[in-house]
């Protein structure tokens, strides 16, 4: 999400959001859709609520092999074993996807089949979803919907369904982390199922997070019970001897909107993802969330901060400062010097999924900090004011991980080895608002990253490449807070400055970075940058808007679908084929296979060619990319809106 995603006239937005009940959903033409042959899973059964005592971490018996902190000098054995299954499971969907993308003059399906017995030769795909609050969650959700072969019509001509099934990793940060978490905790469900307006739907954002879920249906709590329940759960964690922070309250509230509206899913953990059939059988990509470390007394997060990741197996960092990982299931246990003494219990339940998502999005604590300036109910103001009274202003945006799992570990290099508690903040506070860091680690051998950027870099909440610039600069800086090489073997493709992004329109359309791998000193993934842009809806909603009616929610997702597919190929008919070329490029290099002529043209069209224009750009006000149709309806067959609807939607965005 990042500090640049400021609230602006936050109080006005919040007040209007609570009072305006606009409804601008345009009818979709069902006749224009092609029926899917794949059943879309429903949310009849959610994930595994395996915490021993709800939200309160508990001492439990340790396994016969006691957990330890491991060095980050390799992938974990768990991830290595999982990858052996996952890479094989991507072969069929990748072959099908590349065949449908129809790369002229190249038999992509035969290429995949011929290399199927050598997984290291096959393309290794990752998807990264940026932060940006609900805007990022919904716009990123549209991209994931476009990439998912289970979605209706996603495998038709011009669409990209199957990219998700072909991917090895799916990373999220802040609002993008909400998306990733909500998908996985709900059994690797589809976006359509999360949006589905029935008794088991999850994404009901019409009520703000301060009001709690709407009563009726599966929601049995009124607002007073909602607040009381959250406070009791957080208090119980504190009574059990664990430090709590504003993020505990924030994470519990998030869970009501993203996990389970009936009780907030207090027993759901991030580590339980590894037990789900879809993940255990490597039928889905590995989900990763990230957060930034914050040293005591720091208020601004430097570009050389330590970046931590949460994956289903572990929590830790590849950075040479701490350079270690702890088994996620036992986070909260009292490790010292990398080991858990025989006298110590194994704590379970600390990695509550809401707390993990809240950690990655802790900048959203600004919601809570601005509460007295908003028009939310007095009951909510009193509740939040009471919370803030327990925390100092300097700690209002942190998540506390106490005991610190890296206490006494790598004492010569770690800046946190002598701290009783590890403080983490929003993963975008170092300006790297797209979670690329875990995907460029050399051990993961990622070839291509589809980077969906919903950042609010400009004055009107559109991206301008700031996140890519921050990742590139970090790779060049190479100096950690205690000295040494921060890059640690990672490499990142060259990108231009933010003014160039805007002046050349690189923030209005997909762009490839790192096309010529010979220009880098070490293996670098090709980055396919997909910035948020108004195809069919002005999706540049403020990061801090707290509520979205069903119409607005669906339109942002629909726009995100079109951003990812370039209007299903209607804006640029070569885009789907060029996505296939991007997937194949690094693999073709490894197997010394000539790149098809059409792919050469794709790279000429979509690669940044090194041109720079750093002059101050004019005010960025992007126009709609898809024109009106006679029907004036939104469909996935080249989505468009009538002029009247566009005006109405523009007015609604201005109001909200």
Q: Output the 3-class SS for 398-411.
A: CEEECCCCCCCCCC
pLDDT score recorded for residue 217 = 40
- Within 10 A of 196 (CB to CB), how many other CB atoms are there? 17
Angstrom CA distances, 640 to 553, 555, 583, 635, stand at: 17, 11, 28, 7
pLDDT score recorded for residue 607 = 98
Q: What is the CA radius of gyration of the chain?
A: 23
Angle of CA points 224, 227, 233, to nearest 5°: 135
CATH number of 10-655: 3.40.1090.10
Distance CA 51, CA 69 (A): 21
- What does the DSSP 8-state code read for residue 525? -
Distance CA 221, CA 262 (A): 8
Residues 86/287, Cβ–Cβ less than 8 Å: no
- What does the DSSP 8-state code read for residue 219? B
Domain boundaries, the chain: 10-655
- Among residues 199, 239, 233, 193, which one has the least CA distance to residue 219? 199
pLDDT score recorded for residue 376 = 56
DSSP one-letter string for 536-596: SS-----TT-----HHHHHHHHHHHHHHHHTTTTTS-TTHHHHHHHHHHHHHHHHTTPPPP
Q: Taking the chain (656 residues) in consecutive chunks of 10 residues, what is each chunk's mean pLDDT?
A: 34 30 28 34 62 96 96 97 97 97 95 93 98 96 98 96 98 97 94 81 83 57 78 94 90 90 88 95 98 79 89 96 96 97 97 96 64 56 62 65 96 93 92 97 97 96 97 79 63 96 97 86 89 96 85 95 96 97 97 96 97 95 70 37 30 30
Q: What sign has the CA pseudo-torsion 229, 230, 231, 237?
A: positive
Distance CA 435, CA 425 (A): 14
pLDDT score recorded for residue 579 = 98
């Amino acid at each position: 999400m990042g500090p640049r995603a400021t609230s602006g006239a936050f109080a006005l937005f919040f007040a209007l959001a609570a009072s305006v009940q606009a409804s601008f959903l345009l009818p979709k033409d069902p006749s224009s859709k092609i029926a899917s042959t794949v059943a879309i899973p429903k949310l009849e059964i959610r994930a595994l609520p395996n915490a021993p005592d709800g939200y309160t971490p508990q001492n439990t018996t340790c396994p016969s092999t006691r957990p330890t902190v491991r060095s980050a000098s390799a992938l974990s054995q768990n991830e290595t074993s999982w990858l052996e299954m996952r890479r094989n499971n991507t072969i069929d969907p990748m072959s099908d996807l590349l065949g449908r993308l129809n790369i002229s003059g190249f038999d992509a399906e035969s290429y995949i089949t011929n290399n199927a017995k050598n997984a290291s030769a096959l393309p290794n795909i990752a998807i990264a979803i940026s932060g940006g609050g609900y805007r990022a969650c919904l716009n990123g959700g549209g991209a994931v919907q476009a990439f998912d072969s289970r979605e209706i019509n996603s495998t038709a001509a011009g669409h990209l369904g199957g990219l998700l099934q072909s991917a090895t990793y799916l990373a999220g940060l802040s609002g993008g982390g909400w998306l990733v978490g909500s998908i996985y905790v709900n059994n690797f469900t589809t976006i359509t199922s999360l949006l589905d307006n029935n008794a088991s739907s999850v994404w009901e954002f019409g009520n703000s997070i301060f009001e709690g879920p709407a009563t009726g249906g599966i929601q049995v709590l009124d607002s007073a019970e909602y607040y009381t329940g959250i406070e009791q759960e957080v208090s119980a964690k504190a009574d059990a001897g664990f430090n709590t922070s504003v993020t505990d309250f924030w994470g519990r509230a998030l869970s009501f909107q993203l996990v389970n509206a009936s009780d907030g899913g207090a027993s759901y953990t991030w580590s339980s993802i590894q037990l789900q059939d879809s993940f255990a059988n490597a039928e889905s990509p590995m989900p990763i969330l990230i957060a930034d470390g914050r040293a005591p007394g720091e208020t601004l997060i430097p570009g050389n901060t330590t970046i931590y990741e949460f994956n289903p197996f572990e929590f830790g960092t590849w950075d040479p400062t701490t350079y270690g990982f702890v088994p996620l299931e036992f986070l909260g246990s009292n490790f010292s010097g990398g080991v858990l003494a025989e006298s110590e219990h194994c704590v379970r339940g600390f990695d509550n999924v809401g707390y993990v998502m809240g950690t990655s999005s802790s900048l959203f604590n600004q919601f809570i900090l601005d509460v007295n300036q908003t028009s939310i109910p007095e009951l909510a103001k009193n509740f939040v004011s009471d919370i803030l009274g327990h925390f100092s202003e300097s700690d209002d945006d942190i998540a506390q991980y106490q005991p610190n799992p890296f206490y006494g570990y790598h004492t010569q290099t770690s800046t946190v080895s002598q701290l009783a508690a590890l403080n983490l903040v929003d993963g975008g506070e170092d300006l790297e608002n797209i979670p690329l860091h875990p995907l460029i680690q050399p051990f993961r051998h990622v070839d291509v990253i589809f980077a969906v950027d919903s950042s609010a870099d400009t004055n009107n909440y559109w991206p301008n490449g700031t996140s890519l610039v921050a990742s590139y600069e970090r790779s060049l800086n190479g100096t950690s807070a205690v000295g040494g090489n921060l890059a640690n073997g990672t490499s990142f493709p060259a990108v231009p400055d933010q003014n160039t992004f805007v002046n050349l329109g690189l923030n209005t359309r997909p762009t490839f970075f790192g096309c010529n791998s010979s220009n880098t000193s070490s293996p670098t993934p090709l980055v396919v940058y997909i910035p948020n842009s108004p195809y069919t809806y002005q999706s540049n909603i403020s990061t801090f808007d707290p509520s979205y009616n069903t119409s607005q929610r669906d339109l942002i997702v629909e726009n995100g679908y079109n951003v990812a597919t370039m209007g299903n190929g209607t804006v640029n008919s070569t885009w789907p084929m060029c996505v296939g070329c991007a997937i194949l490029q690094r693999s073709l290099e490894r197997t010394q296979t000539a790149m098809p002529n059409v792919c050469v043209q794709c790279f000429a069209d979509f690669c940044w060619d090194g041109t720079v224009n750093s002059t101050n750009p004019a005010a960025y006000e992007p126009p709609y990319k898809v024109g009106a149709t006679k029907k004036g309806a939104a469909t996935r067959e080249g989505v468009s809106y009538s002029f009247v609807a566009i005006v109405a939607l523009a007015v609604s965005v201005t109001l909200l």
